[in-house]
Amino acid sequence: MSETIHPETRIGHVHLRVADLERSLAFYHGVLGFEVMQRMGNSAAFLSAGGYHHHIGLNTWESLGGSAPPPGTTGLYHLAILYPTRRELGNALQRLIAAKIPLDGTADHGVSEALYLRDPDNNGVELYWDRPRSEWPKDVNDKLTMYTRPLDLHGLLAAAT
């Protein structure tokens, strides 16, 4: 039997191969608002929320001018960016609308509300916020019962600043 991972373990960052660094910076910095912590010339950049060394790394070391993997291949399904509140997720939705970034989908999962989209390199991106644990849906045996239902986008936009 394997030991369970420590409950305070977190995923620290994601590092993406991109075809065009400036195009990716325009999305992750310009639209989503991540702070550029460091650049390595025109080949890499490290971005953060709140001054951490980096949450997202972008590089063109093996991918400059490359194309996205074709459908039906293995690899990244999506990266998920957790917002602290529904209000902040609503603000992110406003920025996506202003930048004319299309959504692939939206969902209310009971535990969270989520927006799904693609970055400039066709990587899946989920923007979401978690409801408080006390509000997570559970069955009569106190087991988590996530679901997928339509997301109230008007309500989410109303929650924004």
Pick one of 3.40.50.2300, 3.40.50.300, 3.10.180.10, 4.10.520.10 as the CATH number of 77-161.
3.10.180.10
Domain 13-63 and domain 77-161 have a common topology: yes
Nearest-5° angle of CA 76, CA 105, CA 90?
105
Pick one of 3.55.10.10, 3.10.50.30, 3.40.1120.10, 3.10.180.10 as the CATH number of 13-63.
3.10.180.10
pLDDT higher than 90, residue 1? no
Q: pLDDT tens digits, residue range 28-83?
A: 999 999 999 999 999 999 999 999 999 999 999 999 999 999 989 999 999 999 99
pLDDT higher than 90, residue 161? no
Q: pLDDT tens digits, residue range 42-57?
A: 999 999 999 999 999 9
Which tokens go with 77?
A: 């399904």
Nearest-5° angle of CA 89, CA 90, CA 94?
115
Strand duo 14-17 + 56-59: pairing: parallel
**Domains of the chain: which residue ranges?**
13-63, 77-161
